[in-house]
């Protein structure tokens, strides 16, 4: 069981690359424009592929290959699924356009930056992972540099900013992917993650952000990269226990931070239970049999174990298949929810989002 968990965890991360296609990402953000009904509200996003909207580069990352982006914007544009990610739903809740990716900040008009900025990079973590992307501390450093450069006025940040922090799944993938690490070290490793995450959250607050939404981590044992070893029939309970332990310590720290700030600054978004509720069998949808809808099975998969979603062979022939019931599938690929999946998660965490206005 432990060996299976370690092997499957290596599927979590995606390679980071240094180049990207500016026009394609900007087109996606243009189509997702929404009127800012809350005036000068800004959203600053930190984390990994669950919230990345185009920072991770093009030539290796699956997020830039077909069939990614088939629902939105209709072609690959840097999101790690078929359509909208969590960032997009939260921006919509706030009544603003999805923040421009940090990697594109120099390629857009200044007016495009009014809704904030997305510093999240796919494959990254609180610490350095198995990819070369910027970890959370570095991402917060990018934010601080922009404040120093007066891209955002400190007073505006204090008055009307919300931060979204969604990170740590890749830290566990990296932990199990490195030789010599095992489950005996897991509790200590989790505590080190939360300790550094706490430092970074305090830093974001010290930079002026008054409300910070922090996601718990998903049930790692329910990700298809792990449930594939169980024929997509069950979640791996050991991996889920690791997630629960992480979240327990995280929630304790957020409570302590709120006592320090005396202003309910930190709001937890419970991804764990949102995922569990969404994948819990049986799922009944009109027009589909229960057998057809296995919520633990991803919609987009490789035709064999050597391929994955988005794979092609040397001739360019597709080596993946996309399910016929994407509109009711929870998972898009072996790690990421689909647009429908994120919509279900968003519906579950929406009451918590309202606390951002309290």
Active site residues: 49, 333, 336
What does the block give as tokens for 192?
């080190």
Instruction: Tell me how far apart the alpha carbons of residues 117 and 103 are, in angstroms, rounded to a whole number.
Output: 10
Instruction: Tell me how far apart the alpha carbons of residues 328 and 346 are, in angstroms, rounded to a whole number.
Output: 15
Instruction: Tell me how far apart the alpha carbons of residues 122 and 16 are, in angstroms, rounded to a whole number.
Output: 7
322 conformational bin, left if phi > 0, alpha if psi -120 to 50, beta if neither: beta
Task: Kindly tell me the burial class for residue 193, based on how many C-beta atoms sit within 10 Å of its own C-beta (0-12, 13-18, 19 or more).
Answer: buried
Task: Kindly tell me the burial class for residue 166, based on how many C-beta atoms sit within 10 Å of its own C-beta (0-12, 13-18, 19 or more).
Answer: buried
Residue 235: φ, ψ to 5°: -80, 155
Q: Which long-range contacts (CB under 8 A, 24 or more apart) does 195-199 make?
A: 196/126, 196/127, 196/136, 196/137, 197/126, 197/136, 197/165, 197/167, 197/168, 197/250, 197/253, 198/253, 198/257, 199/137
Q: Which residue has the tokens 């939360």?
A: 194
E strand intervals along the chain:
42-47, 100-101, 116-118, 161-166, 211-215, 266-269, 300-302, 320-322
Instruction: Tell me how far apart the alpha carbons of residues 354 and 358 are, in angstroms, rounded to a whole number.
Output: 7
């Amino acid at each position: 069981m432990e060996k299976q968990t370690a092997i499957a965890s290596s599927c979590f991360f995606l390679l980071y690359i240094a180049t990207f296609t500016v026009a394609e990402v900007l087109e996606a953000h243009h189509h997702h424009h929404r009127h800012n009904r809350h005036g000068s509200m800004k959203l600053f996003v930190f984390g990994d592929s669950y919230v990345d909207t185009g920072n991770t580069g093009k030539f290796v990352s699956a997020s830039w290959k077909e069939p990614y982006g088939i629902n939105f914007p209709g072609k690959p544009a840097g999101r790690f699924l078929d359509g909208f990610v969590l960032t997009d739903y939260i921006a919509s809740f706030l009544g603003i356009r999805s923040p421009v990716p940090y990697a594109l900040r120099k390629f857009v008009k200044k007016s495009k930056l009014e809704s904030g900025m997305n510093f999240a990079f796919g494959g990254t973590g609180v610490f350095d992972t198995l990819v070369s992307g910027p970890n959370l501390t570095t991402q917060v450093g990018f934010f601080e540099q922009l404040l120093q450069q007066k891209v955002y006025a400190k007073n505006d940040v204090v008055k009307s900013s919300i931060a979204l922090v969604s990170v740590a799944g890749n830290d566990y993938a990296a932990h199990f992917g490195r030789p010599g690490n095992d489950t005996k070290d897991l509790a200590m490793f989790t505590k080190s993650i939360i300790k550094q995450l706490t430092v970074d959250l305090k830093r974001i607050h010290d930079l002026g952000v008054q409300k910070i939404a922090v996601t718990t981590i998903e049930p790692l044992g329910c990700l298809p990269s792990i449930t594939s070893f169980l024929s997509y029939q069950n979640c791996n309970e050991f991996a889920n226990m690791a997630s629960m332990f992480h979240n327990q310590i995280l929630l304790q720290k957020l409570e302590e931070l709120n006592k320090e700030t005396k202003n309910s600054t930190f709001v937890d978004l419970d991804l764990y239970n949102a995922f569990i509720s969404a994948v819990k069998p049986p799922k009944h949808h009109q027009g589909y049999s229960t057998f057809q809808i296995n919520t633990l099975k991803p919609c987009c998969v490789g035709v064999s174990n050597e391929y994955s979603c988005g794979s092609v062979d040397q001739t360019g022939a597709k080596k993946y298949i996309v399910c016929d019931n994407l509109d009711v599938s929870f998972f898009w690929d072996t790690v990421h929810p689909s647009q429908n999946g994120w919509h279900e998660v968003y519906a579950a965490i929406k009451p918590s989002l309202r606390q951002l206005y309290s």
